[in-house]
Structure 1
Amino acid sequence: MENLGKLILRISVAGLMLPHGIHKLMHGIDGVKYVLGQASMPQVLSYGVYIGEIVAPLLMILGLYARVSGLLIAFTMFIATVAAHGHELFAFTKYGGLVVELNALYFFAALAVALIGPGKFSLGNQRGFFR
């Protein structure tokens, strides 16, 4: 059961992140560059979106380098959250949730995958930290 839970977590995090990356691949990353510029961050970070939102989710779904993929997605979400919502990290919506609630969920779920690994239902089902 534990391994099934790891599979569900991997597919949930990566499967929901992947469409964001595909959208940016198809429509460009100008919006990402703009948000980074507004946050006084280097716009070159925008190209990391392709790694954090396409490559890492694909690897995570397959269970290849799932721990590294988890860290990459978590890092992507950290940068995205600080860039887009840095001024409202602890602000609430009119419905009572945190403004950064979804970002935080992606961040912590990806971090959980990095910490617990992919489980046995993965293509990278060998021993070692980077599986």
Structure 2
Amino acid sequence: MATNVTGKHISGPRENTDSVAVDVGLLVLRVFFGGLMFVHGSQKLFGWFNGAGWRQTTAGFEKLGYHPGRLFGTLAGLCEFTGGTLLFLGLLTPLGAAVAIGTMINAMNATWHHGLMGYESALLFAVAALTIAIAGPGRFSLDHNRPWARRGPVWGAASLGLAIVAAVITLAFKWR
């Protein structure tokens, strides 16, 4: 007998339907969210998808107070690119989520002064990444049935904790 996402025991044909529905939902969430993170990172690093490219990104980070802008702009682009790729593929999911959440904490810090409507996108991205870390990447992922695959509230909390530590370290160096 299997358990659905609400914790109720299910069996029979509905078990397969519910399980596939959850896995397809996670696939859609991962592909679109991970894809958007990948696009944001590639815009910063390479200027793909009509992005500013590395030089303008690093100059923008200087203006935001992230000194040196080359370091922090590159770091942000690499984190979005890598975290997005990992989430898109469903590979090392808790780590990919932590990278995305930490990056979005810094994005929220940079846009905090605009109020909720300024940092809402970064907050939404962080919540999506946390949701994936808790729920796991689903059956249609590279993590599925691998010995390293992890999911659940403990792994979601671990992802969030790692993200907070990384974001605080980044912000500490930004404020120097």
- Alpha-carbon distance in structure 1 between the residues aligned to 2:63 and 2:29: 33
Tell me, in whole angstroms, the C-alpha distance in 2 between the residues paired with 1:70 and 1:89: 24
Q: Secondary structure at the residue paired with 1:99?
A: helix
The separation in 1 between residues aligned to 2:59 and 2:123, in whole angstroms, is 22
Q: Work out whether residues 97 and 133 of structure 2, in 8 Å CA contact, stay in contact via their aligned partners in 1.
A: yes
Instruction: Report sequence identity in percent.
Output: 28
Q: TM-score by structure 2 length? A: 0.60
Q: TM-score, normalised by structure 1?
A: 0.78
Higher RCO (Cα < 8 Å, 6 or more apart): 1
Are residue 99 (structure 1) and residue 118 (structure 2) matched? yes
Is 1:51 the counterpart of 2:72? The answer is: no
Other-structure match for 2:112: 86
Higher Rg: 2
Letter in 1 for 2:24: L
Query: Paired residue for 2:62, among 37, 46, 59?
Result: 37
* Post-superposition offset of 1:32: 3.8
Question: CA, structure 1 residues 31+115, in 2 after alignment: closer, same or farther (shift >3 Å)?
Answer: farther
Tell me how far apart the structure 1 counterparts of residues 72 and 107 of structure 2 sit (CA, whole Å). 10
Question: Structure 2: which 5+ residue stretches go unaligned?
Answer: 1-20, 48-52, 152-176
Alpha-carbon RMSD across the aligned residues, in angstroms, is 2.3
Residue 32 of structure 2 corresponds to 12
